[in-house]
Structure 1
Amino acid sequence: MVLPRSAVATAEEKPDATRAGLERLSQRRVFFGHQSVGGNILEGVHALLPAPDALSVVEVKDPAATIPAGTLAHAFVGQNEQPETKLAHFERLLDGGLAKQLDVALVKFCYIDFTSSTDAKALFEKYRATLAGLKSRHPGVTFVHVTAPLTTVQRGAKAWFNELRGRPVFGVGENVSREAFNALMRRTYDGKEPLFDLAALESSQADGSRETYEVNGRAYPAMVPAYSDDGGHLNAQGRTRVASALVTFLASLPEPQREAPASAKAQP
């Protein structure tokens, strides 16, 4: 499989490239399992559409739902702060019949699923095992892996005051856990299976420079403050950046290899 360019490389595509991506997606059936940041991304996709019918973005709850070509189907899976429930819900939907309707599927965690004490290795192993099982059971579906989103890091006087009083500084410990998880995602899938690096997009300026902070002399990525109004969810600028990259990325995936109908196979 020839994989598309990294998500970071496609983040600032020209509008005509985004339109071309939407045209290619009009022939595909995609399912996206997510929570609130995923909702932000879908808002961004809506804003990119040149016409309301250019791509159908619909929520599905029934795994037996019909997913026609040109559909970006999605569902709010599991519960925030309980990432294992998101994997289980995503798995139930696909195994329940949804996978038969799809060309591409992806599930992402949310920034709130990670704390400074999250066991990133254990969570990644659960993710890896779940996706490996789905890939084995549904070989006709292309599974896209997505890195965990980041938050901004508190800086300035408030951060200094919290450190002085021994209080946690917003984003510092949590982003360390997210980066530990994301490093395992990149090490396992980058260049081998489709990987949409959401964290890299969120931590990169338009000129390619990175937003980082240091812990014990090591640099960790954080969300660029301009991409969020509350430190975690994507604002208009962040939504446009990520949605454009996601559309281009999904459209760049190899064409699905659909299995021929049984009647066709029976022909001499």
Structure 2
Amino acid sequence: MRPAVLHRIVAAAIALVVIAAGVVVWRGMMRVEPLSVAEPRRADLRSLANTSVFFGHQSVGANVLHGLAALDGSAEAGIRIVESTDARDVAVGTVVHAHMGVNGDPQSKIDAFLEVMDAGMADAVDVALLKFCYVDVTAETDVAAVFAAYTAAIADLQARHPDTTFLYATVPLATARDLKGTIRSWLGRDAGMGPEDNVARQQFNAAVRDRLAGTDLLFDIAAVESGMDQGVSPRSHAGADYYVLDDSFAADPGHLGEAGSRAAAAELVRTIGAVRERA
């Protein structure tokens, strides 16, 4: 092997080690104490037990429902979780849920939610919501277009079904890239899981928060996942602020573990309790 070629290989290897070490050190400087889980009020659990809900989601939504079933007092309150799109399965104290559309295609989720609602579900439940997944909003997403389509669809449903309360939801987040994810990104993999993708999610979430300010209509799962509601500061990428799914709440780079599931479920219970109290 020519000395010049060998030199370039060695230099590249050294650079890789230095960058990898920097990633490890950077992550090591991040906050390490776990986020706390705020259990819901008993009054909010009782409110949910006297409410019928439809929840459209994908996998992170399944994490939330797992957390709901695990919350202290859920079973005692008589809260049931049923997977269905049939309005005949709705009953007081039931959270009816179903997977909506295709991950990575937010419009397909909006269309599926509209179809289920207009097939009788909207008139059968007290509260309904559609939550996107983290893969639905990435750096490649036209965030303004998705925000416009989502909010217009929910507002239209609210106008056509005034006796039902329609909630909105922020988009879940991904964790900060670890060393493995960073190396995968250099190889053109790990798409949708980088800081630029969480920046896009923050843009969507900030727009939803602005739209719903002063109401109780927002299930802010991203604020819970990130610890934003506990005072965690944002990070910055290319001059833009963003948040990440906290490691203490994560089961993997995009999904919730036990603590995260309970925390998100508690926030959903609190949100539903607030809107029912105001009704």
CA distance in 2, matches of 1:144, 1:178: 18
CA displacement at 1:209 relative to structure 2: 2.1
2:78 aligned residue: 54
Identical aligned pairs, as a percentage? 38
In structure 1, list runs of 5 or more residues that go unmatched.
1-10, 258-268
2:245 to 223, 229, 235: 223
2:261 to 232, 239, 245: 239
CA distance in 1, matches of 2:240, 2:263: 27
Deviations 1:212-257 (A, max 9, x none): 4321233311111111121110001111111112112211213586
SS class of match (1:253): helix
- RCO higher in 1 or 2 (8 Å CA, sep ≥ 6)? 1
CA displacement at 1:172 relative to structure 2: 1.3
CA displacement at 1:208 relative to structure 2: 2.8
CA distance in 1, matches of 2:221, 2:44: 18
In structure 2, list runs of 5 or more residues that go unmatched.
1-35
CA distance in 2, matches of 1:67, 1:140: 15
SS class of match (2:88): coil
CA displacement at 1:40 relative to structure 2: 0.3
**Structure 2 counterpart of 1:151, which letter?**
A
Asked if 2 retains the 8 angstrom alpha-carbon contact of 1:78 and 1:86, the reply is yes
**Structure 1 counterpart of 2:79, which letter?**
L
| CA pair 157-231 structure 1, distance change in 2 beyond 3 A | closer
**Structure 1 counterpart of 2:198, which letter?**
N
2:136 to 95, 105, 113: 113
Asked if 1 retains the 8 angstrom alpha-carbon contact of 2:216 and 2:275, the reply is no
Deviations 1:95-150 (A, max 9, x none): 11111111111100000112211000001111121112101100001111100000
What's the TM-score, normalizing by structure 2?
A: 0.78
Asked if 1 retains the 8 angstrom alpha-carbon contact of 2:45 and 2:77, the reply is no
CA displacement at 1:158 relative to structure 2: 6.0
Query: Does 46-55 or 86-95 show the bigger shift?
Result: 46-55
Matched pairs, number: 242
1:213 aligned residue: 235
| CA pair 59-52 structure 1, distance change in 2 beyond 3 A | farther
1:31 aligned residue: 54
| CA pair 125-23 structure 1, distance change in 2 beyond 3 A | same
Q: Does 1:252 align with 2:274?
A: yes
C-alpha root-mean-square deviation of aligned residues, in Å? Answer: 2.5
1:93 aligned residue: 116
> Which one has the bigger helix percentage?
2
SS class of match (2:241): strand
Higher radius of gyration, 1 or 2? 2
CA displacement at 1:175 relative to structure 2: 0.8
1:178 aligned residue: 201
**Structure 1 counterpart of 2:254, which letter?**
G
CA displacement at 1:163 relative to structure 2: 7.7
Query: Does 22-31 or 64-73 show the bigger shift?
Result: 64-73
**Structure 2 counterpart of 1:183, which letter?**
A
2:25 aligned residue: none
CA displacement at 1:56 relative to structure 2: 1.0
2:107 aligned residue: 84
Q: Does 1:201 align with 2:244?
A: no
CA distance in 2, matches of 1:192, 1:142: 12
Asked if 2 retains the 8 angstrom alpha-carbon contact of 1:214 and 1:220, the reply is yes
